[in-house]
Structure 1
Amino acid sequence: MGRWINSNLVWSYILVAVGAGVAVLSGLFHMFTDKKAAKSGLISLGFMAVVVVVAYLLASPEIPQFIGVDKFLADGTLNEKVAKLTDTGLYATYILLGLAVLSVASSAVMRLFR
């Protein structure tokens, strides 16, 4: 049973890598063939970079205190860098969720005024 699970996991990793590669290559092909799409894609990428930088600046390297934290501190899986990156991911998620809610609400309000 263990060999079957391992072979399926390897196969799924291969399929994910191929799918990600095809997605990246098709995006690059579309970007090089359509200049307007390239411009909007680069603006989106810049916006995402700004959100990540803001989230990184808001993040704290303080290690959270919870039951069982000593085990993670002892084996080295939790340190200040990991805590800061985790906080960055959480803040980026919160920022993007807030912006998504604001865009949905503003589109509904703007539709009322048309």
Structure 2
Amino acid sequence: MLKDFRTFIARGNVVDLAVGVIIGAAFTSIVTSLTKNLINPLIGLFIGKIDLSGLVFSVGDAHFRYGQFIDSIINFLIIAFVVFLLVKMINKLMHSTEKKPAAPSASEAYLKEIRDLLEQQQK
């Protein structure tokens, strides 16, 4: 069982996944900073408040922080868009690196013509 686990961990997919999770966590902090420090002040200029995360409404003793929810939505949209661009770029690279079948050489084309002519004569 330990050997199977070691084989599973040593496969490239698991290592790639671990690297992706670590980079994703670091990327999330960058997007959060982008949202809080650049995008929110820009949006705040239009709605009159600088800090969206401070938007709150209260009902009785309950406080609803809808500004923080808006921050989370903006973060999600940015991350989803960047992941979409990365997947699209990777798919484009994967398709461009696939080898296309080589065009037949002149001698192969002539041989194919001779074969076709012989088939026609036999019919």
TM superposition score normalised by structure 1: 0.45
Is the strand fraction higher in 1 or 2?
A: 2
- Whose Rg is larger? 2
Considering Cα pairs closer than 8 Å and 6+ residues apart, tell me whether 1 or 2 has the greater RCO: 1
